[in-house]
Structure 1
């Protein structure tokens, strides 16, 4: 009796040219023979916040699914960047199309300023919705924050650009840096609202932000660099008139975890979709 060998699992970090920075992701380029249970088991064994599985490919047109160690997610930005760079290293830079559970995501890979490959992905069409007073109260209680810890210029909202994220803005960098939350309580709230992360932000300047993303629903205390949340945040800023297209925004994430990464968010005039780009490199 013979058994099919397990596919190769690649490990990349996204949104950094340094393997010690950014957000690690697993990448399986040949997942055609894997069922959902097998993909979930591989993601749990890898242990990163997400692993991308290419389940079908027709040239540069790919069907992709994403799994955290606990569940499938509709879309993951950093694993998309990682997978796109892994593919480009094997087939050359250029345009790719990722068909994800959230919709079609075009990706372009080119050499970055350091020579490391850089991927730019375009979101599905985003949308924003209000966060109810009860949602805000429970989120603040789980985080251990007070209403006075919030920046009143950034009203709480749920933002979507492939996955749902609750956006909360800290009034100070110190508040953002001091993150010690109730894991189970926040996970319960996020599960009830179908949230992927909570996008915590602090504005350094009109075009520079520092962000953090608790991710208890994925079995991870904090995501070091979150492309899907960056896309949602770009849509949030435009929807509320806090950024005017065309605009380029720089998001710093992972500094408080010792894994610094940089996410570049682009808003284009006349196009509601948002773009995020970053470098990726293999983890030895």
Structure 2
């Protein structure tokens, strides 16, 4: 992999949405003077082996607040337009280098500002997603997804409809009746991957609503070559848009998404839902040993 780290580039590993290196979602963060070729980035992501590796190169001045960075995200299988946990990890890595402030990530879906600040001596980051959107999920799509899992329609929450939700990447928000149902999730990897590829879905965001402000989530990610994400910032932003569209929160509102528990990598994602515009997603990130 050293041949890919030219121009003084570095490759770091951080877990996002946790303060404990045994929790959260690990991400690779590659920072260099210019972005490698796409096939090199995909190969590096495969070698790193995490669900996502972010690749960053400066776009103009990189000193201090309001610096701009070109960013691309790769899973072991393919490029992803936007990844929340790798954005949080990347922003904390930049904050360690350049200090607190606002870093603007130039992504495939548009500019994503990320504010880095200190909280109790540890750096945290808050991204603001592109404007969210969504629409009711087609019954046929939901049926296809269920057929690839061990769930049936009776396991879904009748009060929370399934929806296609976007805040940088498309997700199927799939609410279930109970925490026990969520914990029981199993699926056929290739079957679900094929359904998701056909509908341009990044993850299936299975959620259980504990209360109006607390959601538990599991996110299968077979399209990226990964069984499941322990924390999915882009899906959390999409969920914030879903809650606003469905009038399930009264903006401005704060909710928390708890994820990764069933994988043994607990994560906590803070989501702020404003009255309009992008959704704010916040979390800490900690370094991992290579």
- TM-score normalised over the length of structure 1: 0.96
Whole-Å Cα distance in 1 between the matches of residues 288 and 33 of structure 2?
A: 20
With over 3 angstroms needed to count, the CA separation of the structure-2 counterparts of 1:116 and 1:171, relative to structure 1, is same
**CA displacement at 1:55 relative to structure 2:** 3.1
Kept after mapping to 1: 8 A contact 2:123/2:284: yes
SS at match of 1:249: strand
Match of 1:69 in 2: 76
SS of residue matched to 1:152: coil
1:54 aligns with 2:56: yes
Kept after mapping to 2: 8 A contact 1:130/1:156: yes
**1:277 match:** 282
1:268: how far off? 1.1
Residues 30/15 of structure 1: CA separation in 2 closer, same or farther (3 Å cut): same
SS in 1 for 2:121: coil
Equivalent residues, number? 280
Give the whole-Å Cα distance in 2 for the aligned partners of 1:152 and 1:33: 46
Residues 79-104 of structure 1: CA deviation (Å, up to 9, x unaligned) = 00000000000100111100000111
1:255 alignment partner in structure 2? 261
The 5-angstrom pairing of residues 78-93 of structure 1 reads: 78-93=85-100
Unaligned segments of structure 1, at least 5 residues: none
In the TM superposition, 1:1-284 aligns within 5 A as 5-6=5-6, 7-30=9-32, 32-58=34-60, 59=62, 60-112=67-119, 114-269=120-275, 271-284=276-289
**1:149–1:170 CA contact under 8 A, matched in 2:** yes
Distance 1:84 1:33, change over 3 A: closer
Contact persistence 2:35–2:56 (CA under 8 A) = no
Name which of structure 1's ranges 114-123 and 213-222 shifts more when overlaid on structure 2: 114-123
User: By how many angstroms is 1:33 displaced?
Assistant: 4.8
Measure the CA separation in 2 of the matches of 1:105 and 1:266: 15
Per-residue displacement from partner, 1:220-255 (whole Å, max 9, x unpaired)? 000010000000000001101111201000110111
Q: CA deviation at 1:5?
A: 4.8
Deviation sequence 1:66-90 (CA, Å, 0-9, x none):
0000000000000000000000001
Which ranges of structure 2 fall in alignment gaps of 5 or more residues? none
Q: TM-score, normalised by structure 2?
A: 0.94
User: What's the Cα RMSD here?
Assistant: 1.2
Q: Is the 8 A contact 1:21 1:261 kept in 2?
A: yes
Deviation at 1:8, TM superposition (A): 2.3
Determine if contact 2:151/2:185 at 8 Å carries over to the other structure. no
